[in-house]
Amino acid sequence: MNVLMLTPQFPWPTHQGTTLRNYNLIKGLAQNHEVHLFSILAPGDRPDSGPVRDLTASVTTAPQVLRSAGHRLLTLATSLEPDMAWRLWSPDIARQLAMLVSDLRPDILQIEGIEMAPYFFALRQMGVSYGLAIYDAHNAETLLQWRAAQADVRRPRRWAAALYSAIQSAKLRRYERQLLQTVDGVAAVSDPDARFLRSLASDVPIEVVTNGVDLSFYQVDDPGPPIFDTPGPHLVFTGKMDFRPNVDAALWFAAEVMPKLRAQGLTVHFWVVGRNPHQRLSALADRDDVTVTGEVPDVRPYIVQADVYVVPLLAGGGTRFKILEALALAKPVVSTSLGADGIPVQDDVHLALADDPETFAGKIIRLLGERSIAEEMGRRGRLFIQQDFSWDTIVPRLENLYQSSTVNVAKRFAKPPGVVEN
């Protein structure tokens, strides 16, 4: 098949969840299909670097048009569409994409994430021809925003953010439903996300195509050069640090869990590792037990050399690459239940789950104090990833979606029984 993937940033380097997913889908699909790529370039993207061009039949890019604060405020106040629908929108890019699709006539038009949905709607309005439209839902966005609102409303200082998320959740429900009812097939990254998306549109084929791990890239016996320059034990959290759930998680852990560890006499150090730290994280700058690194060349040494990997997420959706990466590296993990949502792990078997500061601190203390338990948990976590989250087993699920969507479209346009043409 001829597949055209629309991505909201260039899929290399693989420095966050979106690029990890998109790159590995391209790599897997390229084995059996002719893959073309259309990417909007985020600031700093370098489309001439990495292996993407060798895997694809063609690469087309367009620079991201940065929105002014005034334009964002205007659309927030006046548009029925969610903020995410405006984030990457440009009429010029839409026209460029329409010309590409007209030339390629792809069998599969694959929309990677809701930020690219406006371009799909624009193609339909222009009457541009393509085969099947497949939406790869990196998150159930309505659910993610609603969870963010629920988390923020419990903290008076976050009521403005809670109001924003509640309004966006309502707008997203309408927009996400319209998208699901218009495409021919949907890939969801977890069973909970799939259930929610089916509640919005029950007729469209939905296949669970989880996030995964390239196990050859995550080698347990390659710790790399020493990373930490402070006394341990070391607790590590990684992610894109301008993503609100990650920011909230880091601040909550530093404010609520770290004091309970210190109260037990532990001199732990908390490492917040990831690109584009939000200005809210500057509140941690004066603490001698917390380091916010910003972007690093490779997160793997931080994970491998950590004593415990933590996922203190209070909101979010989908399946978290951060947990999959840590488990693949045989690292003991302590996560909230929401942080591990969508991954069929067992508490105190593959990782440890905790949803309040006292329990979270207690699970960390146990893993730091009983290293044999921590090492065995890490071994089981690595085995769990090997069995269920290799891209070699995930990409065929996406190909199954292509087939089921083709069958569903054929049924939709089939003539009713007994109807005969004159």
Q: What is the pLDDT of residue 219?
A: 83
Contact between 43 and 10 under an 8 Å Cβ cutoff? The reply is no
Looking at residue 420, its pLDDT comes to 44
Phi-psi region of 324 (alpha: psi -120 to 50; beta: other; left: phi over 0): alpha
- Calculate the alpha carbon distances from 421 to 413, 415, 417 in Å: 15, 10, 12
**Strand, helix or coil at 328?**
helix
For residue 414, what pLDDT is reported? 57
Tokens 């629309």 identify what position? 6
DSSP string, 176-193: HHHHHHHSSEEEESSHHH
Q: Which residues contact 231 (CB under 8 A, 6 or more apart)?
A: 267, 269
Is residue 63 helix, strand or coil?
Answer: strand
Confidence (pTM): 0.82
Q: Report the pLDDT value the prediction gives residue 116, as an integer from 0 to 100.
A: 98
The pLDDT value given to residue 124: 97
Question: If we measure between CA atoms, which residue out of 264, 375, 311, 316 comes closest to residue 138?
Answer: 316
Question: In this predicted structure, what is the pLDDT of residue 421?
Answer: 43
* Residue-level pLDDT at 167: 95
**Closest C-alpha to 319, from 301, 350, 344:** 344
Phi, psi (deg, nearest 5) at residue 138:
-65, -25
Domains and CATH numbers, the chain: 2-210+390-413 (3.40.50.2000), 216-388 (3.40.50.2000)
Would you give per-residue pLDDT tens digits along the chain (422 residues)? 999 999 999 999 888 889 999 999 999 999 999 999 999 998 888 898 899 999 999 999 999 998 888 988 899 889 999 999 999 999 999 999 999 999 999 999 999 999 999 999 999 999 999 999 999 999 999 998 998 888 888 888 888 888 999 999 999 999 999 999 999 999 999 999 999 999 999 999 999 999 999 888 888 887 778 999 888 899 999 998 998 889 999 999 999 999 999 999 999 999 999 989 999 999 998 899 999 999 998 999 999 999 999 999 987 655 688 999 999 999 999 999 999 988 999 999 999 999 999 999 999 999 999 999 999 999 999 999 998 898 998 999 999 999 999 887 776 555 554 444 43
